[in-house]
Amino acid sequence: MLAAEWVTHMTNEAAWDEMREVVENDRERAWRLIRVIVGCAPDYDVLATVAAGPVEDLIDQHGDWAMPMIAEEARNNVRLRICLGAAYSPFPADLRALVESETADVRDLAVDPELIVTGEDLALIMAWLHHSDTAWSSEFPKQMTENDPAAAWDVLRVLFAFADEDTRIRQDVFEHALDPFIRRHFTAYREHLIGLGRKSAAFREWTRDQKRPVTDDATTWAAFIADLVSA
C-alpha cells in the first residue's frame, strides 16, 4: 500500500508543476480547472489542497482579474465557499463574511452536474489529484529509514519491483528512498544491498555512477562496489 501510494505520488509529480504553469500562463484555463476540481472534490482535504495551491496562486498572480469572478461564483457555489475557507488570501470583507458563515460539509453535497471537462483538462486534473491525494506517502520512507529500518527495507524491495517495471520511477526510488537508507544503514544492511545488486543491474549501474561515496567511509564504499561488480 505505502509503496504503491509513493509511486503514484512520484509519477504524478509533474502535474503539480504543470498546474502552476497553467495558472501563470493561462488564467482562463486555470479558473476552469479550479471550478472542475472544486465541483467534484470528495472531501475537505482536497478542497483545502486546491485552496492552498491553484486558488491562492491564481489570486496572487491575477488578483484583479480573478477576485471578482471568485466572489461572484462563491455567492452560488457552496463547494467554493468551503474551499475558500481554507485559503489564506486576503478576501474583501463581504466575501470573507460569506465564506466564514458557511457550515456545510462537502461530503453531503452532490457533484456539480454541469461540469464539462475536455480530455486534456481531465488528464491534468486526474494527475494533480492523484499527486495531492498521495502526498502523505512522500515522507514515509524517510521516517521509516530513521525509526524502523527493517520496515523501510521491505518498502524499498517493493519499490525496486516497481522501478524494474517502470523506468520513469527508477531515479526517484534511487534518489529519494534508497540513497537516504544507504547513508543511514549501510553497515547493517551491506549484505542485503549486495543481494539486491545481484538481482538489479540498474542498482549496480547507479552505484557505479555515484561521483562521491554514499557512505562516510570511502574505502568501505570502494570495497562494496568491488563486491557488486563480482556479484
SS3 114: coil
Q: Give the count of beta carbons closer than 10 Å to the beta carbon of residue 185.
A: 18
Cell triple for residue 68?
A: 471578482
Lowest mean pLDDT among 24-38, 67-81, 180-194: 180-194
Q: Give the ranges where the chain is alpha helix by DSSP (H).
A: 2-11, 13-25, 27-40, 44-50, 56-76, 78-84, 93-100, 119-133, 140-147, 149-165, 170-172, 179-185, 190-199, 201-209, 218-230
What pLDDT shows up at residue 223? 87
Above 90 in pLDDT, residue 53?
yes
Instruction: With beta carbons less than 8 A apart as the criterion, state whether 178 and 210 touch.
Output: no
What pLDDT shows up at residue 220? 86
Lowest mean pLDDT among 32-36, 45-49, 224-228: 224-228
Environment class of 176 (CB within 10 Å of its CB; exposed 0-12, middle 13-18, buried 19+):
middle
Query: How distant is the alpha carbon of residue 45 from its chain centre?
Result: 14
What pLDDT shows up at residue 76? 92
Residue with cell 562496489: 225
Above 70 in pLDDT, residue 1?
no
Instruction: With beta carbons less than 8 A apart as the criterion, state whether 41 and 47 touch.
Output: yes
DSSP 8-state class, residue 216? S
User: What's the predicted TM-score (pTM) here?
Assistant: 0.71
136 or 92: whose pLDDT is higher?
92
Q: Give the count of beta carbons closer than 10 Å to the beta carbon of residue 143.
A: 11
Cell triple for residue 106?
A: 462537502
Above 80 in pLDDT, residue 12?
yes
pLDDT, mean over the chain: 87
Above 90 in pLDDT, residue 84?
yes
Mean pLDDT of 78-94: 92
What pLDDT shows up at residue 231? 63
What pLDDT shows up at residue 5? 81
Residue 110 to residues 17, 40, 71, 87, 100, Cα–Cα distance (Å):
29, 8, 21, 22, 21
Q: Give the count of beta carbons closer than 10 Å to the beta carbon of residue 59.
A: 21
Instruction: With beta carbons less than 8 A apart as the criterion, state whether 83 and 55 touch.
Output: yes
Residue with cell 472542475: 36
Q: Give the count of beta carbons closer than 10 Å to the beta carbon of residue 157.
A: 14
pLDDT digits (tens, 9 = 90+) for 181-224: 988 998 899 999 988 888 888 888 888 888 787 888 788 888 88
HSE-CB for 198 with a 13 A CA cutoff: 8
Instruction: With beta carbons less than 8 A apart as the criterion, state whether 207 and 197 touch.
Output: yes
